[in-house]
Chains A and B, each alone.
Chain A
Amino acid sequence: MARERQVLLRGGTVVDSTGSRLADVLVKGEVVVAVEAPGQSSEAPPGALALDAEGCAVAPGLVDLHAHLREPGMEEAETIETGSRAAALGGYTAVVAMPNTQPAADCAAVIRQVLELAKSACCDVRPAGAITVGREGKVLAPMAEMAAMGVRVFTDDGTGVQSAALMRRALEYATALGAVIADHCEDASLAGNGCMNEGQVSSLLGLLGRPAVSEEVMVLRDIALARLTGGRLHLLHVTTADALQAVRLAKAAGVPVTAEVTPHHLALTEEALRGYETVYKVNPPLRTLRDVVALRGALSEGTVDAIATDHAPHPPEAKDTSICDAAPGVVGLETALSVCLTELQLPLGTVLALMSWSPAKIAGLHPAHGGPIVAGAPANLCVVDLAKEWVVRPEQMASRSRNTPFAGRRLKGKVRHTLLAGEPVVVNEEPQR
């Protein structure tokens, strides 16, 4: 019986929000029952599955605030099943699923459908709800009815809320729901149809660009509205130095705003597009070196609250076309942690804070996810081999789609095991279902 299942994570270093210590972790059923220094129980209990965690960090499972699982409606790119499997392989035990599905997740019926599909997923899939009906930006969606089903994050992601008046009302309305309004900050009239960052590189390549100001004007607007209304604002995929500066000042002034950045915006610049390779086309676009440096610098100082993947799978025909027509987006669930460990010179605890307990709090999932690893805590854990070197091979990924900007890159650090509510969903880098 599942309740009797026991798993022992042996030989690793437990790292959570309280610190790090060498310890073995014993899981029974869905909870952690013991966290003991090695040697105190060198024998695994009979019937327990012993998983080797030597040289590994045993951490709370990661929480992604921002992933496109494409179901319902775009299953050729990804399904909740394949997306959650990819998430588990990346060490994620919870994923907030974006509502730009077909139909959009803008009412209880679609939320219910997603929750139903999520029951058999390899991670905790929490649907976000749309802010407006059909994500059209005109009329508020029934947020309360969705909140009653557990939705705590509302966003029209894919596009930003263009109307300032409507954004104000959404922030006000959400204050009564304990929910957060997450915005994809991009002024459509300034961004136009650009396929990369507007600047020196786009001018040389003869490509239409999306200027940094198209993000910044909406970041500034939303912060002002959050200050006015007291509503909780979360800024999705912040990419520019100047947008970060606005966030910095807003936080200093006590505005209830949180901000996320993506691994690809931390690792890549607009230079990647010089060969017109569509795999690097993403919205918001890859920016300049100055922006990347500013983003990295902000990770340790509290301006950035979370690293989120913006996992955006696309089938090959959506990318095997001109860069103007190619669908924007990169997959990221399987590579996010490894990219961050390899590219950022940050202590493990900082990386985990940004990818586990901090996003868990924003999404209202803490301490079930991201909480300290102590007896009685839910067993949502990942075991990360910090020394493991591996090369990203798109054809071997679990996601249904192959559009990773890190193909062929050598990374250091890989998730070895993942436990979801005590169940080993990934063992020795292999998905169990």
Chain B
Amino acid sequence: MTPRHLLSVADLGALGIDEVLRLTDSFVEVGARPIPKVPALRGKTVVSLFFEDSTRTRLSFEAAARRLSADVMTFAGSSSSLNKGESLRDTVLTIEAMGVDAFVVRHSCGGVPAQVAGWLGAVGDASVVNAGDGAHEHPTQALLDCYTISRERERRFGAKAGRPQVLSGLQVAIIGDIRHSRVARSNVIAFAALGASVTLVAPPTLLPPSVQGWPAEVSHDVDGALAKCDVAYLLRLQNERMTEQFLPSVREYTALYGLTAERARLLGPSTLVMHPGPVRRGIEIAAEVVDSPSSVITTQVANGVAVRMAVLYLLLGSGAPVGA
């Protein structure tokens, strides 16, 4: 069964993630053409419903839709801008009535894409892609991260991975504000599904209230984690965490958990350094590490459009059975 929605990476499973990665290869090739466009989703309409600011992600999705020849509508604004008494549900149903095949939804509150899918379920066939919901998930980020890791390792070290467990045997350290990170949640699910061992590294106040049931270990030893990981995945530290009393100061965070130039020396020769962006140089990661050869941060961004094309094509065009 082709999945109708992509609300969580868990919806895909290892087989589904692998299918997306394979499709991404073909869309990377399309992106390299002089005319980076195919008619695959001609006649389909994709609306980006962004209630939380994120120009980068929204443009990435819109570029993906356009490269598939789909038509794009944009609804971008804070939740308060839709308040003319109209409920979120009514807003969604009004847009759906205009004839929309897919909603790409981002919201500052977890669960909104799932709610949108529920409201749409009664009226038509439209698909929902979660573009980031609160601290819950960011499935396409996890997919592009998996793609980046597996293809970069192949390109740089000739590492040939088995399928679908393309990250089998790898150690991944996710470092930073896990508690508030939707990227961390999606990545834990995706990396573990593809066979990697995940270690979460954070100060105790920036871990979720409970990690019971998560397919990951927890550690406060940054140096130890960096020394043995194949991928060092850094998360952004937001300013609000200090005013909300999660941390005493930025300086203390950087000293204890930041990937400084000095700490970067602990990394193995084939370790990749990753970050979902936007990067705060000098805070969670030193500027020279961002620009170092082990960093694949810009590659992550470049892969974003192709991965999102793969997701949109999978949901709207392929009609293909995808394992879960």
> Does A207 lie within 8 Å of B110, measured CB to CB?
yes
Contact of A323 with B85 in the complex, beta carbons under 8 Å: no
A214–chain B nearest beta-carbon distance, Å: 12
Which A residues lie within 8 Å of B135 (CB)? 206-208
**Interchain nearest-CB distance for B150 vs A (Å):** 26
Whether B90 contacts A275 by the Cβ 8 Å rule is no
B90 touches A206 (CB 8 A): no
Contact A275 B114 (CB under 8 A): yes
Answer whether residue A72 sits at the interface, using C-beta atoms and an 8 A cutoff. Answer: no
Bound together, the chains give a CA A207 to CA B111 distance in angstroms of: 9
What is the CA–CA distance of A207 and B134 in the complex, to the nearest angstrom?
8
The residue of chain B having its C-beta at the shortest distance from the C-beta of A195 within the complex is B109
Binary contact track A205-248/B, C-beta < 8 Å → 1, others 0: 11111010000000000000000000000000000000000000
Asked whether B81 is an interface residue with its Cβ less than 8 Å from the other chain, the reply is no
Question: A207–B115 Cα gap in the complex (Å)?
Answer: 14
Q: Does A22 contact B (CB under 8 A)?
A: no
A316 to B135, CA, bound (A): 26
Output the nearest chain B residue to A197 by Cβ-Cβ distance: B209
In the complex with contacts A200-B210, A206-B110, A323-B111, A316-B133 CB distance below 8 A:
no
Type the 1/0 row for B241-283, where 1 means its CB is closer than 8 Å to any CB of A: 0000000000000000000000000000000000000000000
| Measured CA separation A323–B112 after assembly (Å) | 8
Tell me the minimal C-beta distance from B210 to chain A in angstroms.
4
Q: Closest residue to A189 on the B side, CB-wise?
A: B245
For the complex, give the distance between the alpha carbons of A162 and B135 in Å: 29
Chain B residues near A325: list those with CB within 8 A: 79, 88, 109
> What residues on B are CB-neighbors of A278 within 8 Å?
115
Q: Which of B87, B134, B211 contacts A324 (CB 8 A)?
A: B134
Q: Return the chain A residue nearest B133 by Cβ.
A: A206
B 114-148 contacts with A by CB, 8 A: 114-115, 118, 133-137
Alpha-carbon gap, A209 to B211, bound state (A): 14
Q: Which residue of A lies closest to B113 (CB)?
A: A276
Bound-complex Cα distance A316 to B90 (A): 11
Kindly state whether residue A202 has any CB partner on chain B within 8 Å: yes
Q: Which residues of A contact B212 (CB under 8 A)?
A: 200, 203
CA distance A202 to B185 in the complex (A): 12
How many chain A residues touch B (CB < 8 A): the figure is 24
Residue of B nearest to A322 (CB): B109
Chain B residues touching A, range: 20 to 34
Check B79–A322 contact: CB distance below 8 A. Answer: yes
Q: Mark A274-289, 1 if CB is under 8 A from B, else 0.
A: 0111100000000000
| Separation of A316 and B85 alpha carbons in the complex (Å) | 12
The answer to whether B213 and A206 have CB atoms under 8 Å apart is: no
Give the residue name and chain of the A residue nearest to B115 (CB).
A276
CA distance A121 to B303 in the complex (A): 65
Q: Which of A315-332 contact B (CB under 8 A)?
A: 316-317, 320-325
- Shortest CB–CB separation between residue A4 and chain B, in angstroms? 51
Q: Per-residue CB proximity of B92-120 to A under 8 Å, as 1/0? A: 00000000000000011111101100100
Specify which of B79, B137, B208 is in contact with A203 (CB 8 Å cutoff): B208
Q: Decide: A206 and B137 in contact? CB cutoff 8 A.
A: yes
Which residue of chain A is the closest to B7 with respect to CB atoms? A276
Residues 181-213 of chain A, each 1 if its beta carbon lies under 8 Å from chain B, else 0:
000000000000000001110111111110100
Say whether B182 faces chain A, with CB atoms less than 8 Å apart. Answer: yes
Q: Cα distance A321–B107 when bound, in Å?
A: 11
Chain B residues within 8 Å of A209, by CB:
209
- Known contacts A207-B111, A324-B108; decide if A202 and B209 are in contact (CB<8 Å): yes
Q: Mark A248-279, 1 if CB is under 8 A from B, else 0.
A: 00000000000000000000000000011110
In the bound complex, what is the Cα–Cα distance between A217 and B212 (angstroms)? 25
Cβ of B89 < 8 Å from any Cβ of A? yes
Q: What is the minimal beta-carbon distance from A76 to any residue of chain B, in angstroms?
A: 12
B133 / chain A contacts, CB cutoff of 8 Å:
206
Binary flags per residue of B60-91, CB closer than 8 Å to A gives 1, else 0: 00000000000000000001000001011110
Contacts of A203 in B (CB 8 A): 208-212
Please name the residue on chain A nearest to B245 by beta carbon: A189
Cβ-defined contact, A317 with B85, below 8 A:
yes
* Chain B residue nearest in CB terms to A198: B209
Residues from chain B with Cβ under 8 Å of A211 in the complex: 209
Complex contact A276–B114 (CB within 8 A)? yes
**Closest beta carbon of chain A to B218's beta carbon, Å:** 12
* Chain A, range 399-433, C-beta contacts under 8 Å to B: none
Interface readout for B9-45 with A: 1 if CB under 8 Å, 0 if not? 0000000000000000000000000000000000000
* A276 and B111 in contact, given A321-B87, A321-B88 (Cβ under 8 angstroms): yes
With A202-B209, A206-B137, A207-B134: A322-B112 Cβ-Cβ less than 8 Å: yes
Checking B115, B134, B210, B211 against A206 with a beta-carbon cut-off of 8 angstroms, the contacting residue is B134
CB <8 Å contact, A206 and B185: yes
Q: A206-B137, A276-B110, A321-B88 are in contact. List 20 more A-B contacts (CB 8 A).
A: A199-B210, A200-B212, A203-B210, A203-B212, A205-B111, A205-B136, A206-B136, A207-B135, A207-B136, A209-B209, A277-B115, A317-B85, A317-B87, A320-B89, A322-B88, A322-B107, A322-B109, A322-B111, A323-B112, A324-B110
Closest 10 CB pairs of A and B: A276-B111, A206-B136, A324-B109, A322-B109, A206-B135, A203-B208, A320-B89, A320-B87, A206-B110, A317-B87
What would be 14 A-B contacts, judged by CB atoms less than 8 Å apart?
A: A200-B209, A203-B209, A204-B213, A205-B136, A206-B110, A206-B185, A207-B111, A207-B134, A278-B115, A321-B88, A322-B88, A322-B108, A323-B109, A324-B109
Which of A's residues lie within 8 Å of B, judged by CB? 198-200, 202-209, 211, 275-278, 316-317, 320-325
